[in-house]
Amino acid sequence: MLIKPTHLISDSGNLREQLDTLAALLETGYDADVASILRDVPELDANESPSGDRYGRTLLMLAASKHCPETVEYLMAGRRRFAAVLPNLRDSLGRTALHLAADAGAPAGIAAALLAHPETDVNAR
């Protein structure tokens, strides 16, 4: 029996659990599903790190490094009702989403979405 990934998100309202599930979906390539779920869970803070991520990467960082353009574009478009996505946040190794996208050889569309955001620091080291 095939389970649609969107059914993996709990209705419990536990935002930490939902964030962890979205991170797992990004890790396994469910880009379009994650973007769709984010539209349905606007109160989720995409600047938080999933509890299982040892580097403190945000959903934007994971999406950029896992070649998930739909999620990156959605997060960068600024349509979130709650916390705006912060493109210059750094993981525990000091890397931004742009660094991670470049390191992972992400498609040009991901870099373009990150660079189009007015707050992206293109000189971050």
User: How many domains does the chain divide into?
Assistant: 1
Note the residue count of the chain: 125
Residue 16 burial (CB count, 10 A): 12
pLDDT bin (cut points 50, 70, 90) of residue 1 is very low
State the CATH number of the domain containing residue 91: 1.25.40.20
The residues near 10 (Cβ < 8 Å, ≥ 6 apart) are 17, 18, 21
Domain encompassing residue 95: 14-116
**What percent of the chain shows pLDDT beyond 70?**
86
Query: Could you report the per-residue pLDDT of 69-94, keeping only the tens digit for each?
Result: 999 998 888 766 556 788 999 999 99
Phi/psi for 31 (5° steps) reads -60, -55
Query: Could you report the per-residue pLDDT of 32-59, keeping only the tens digit for each?
Result: 988 888 888 777 888 888 888 899 999 9
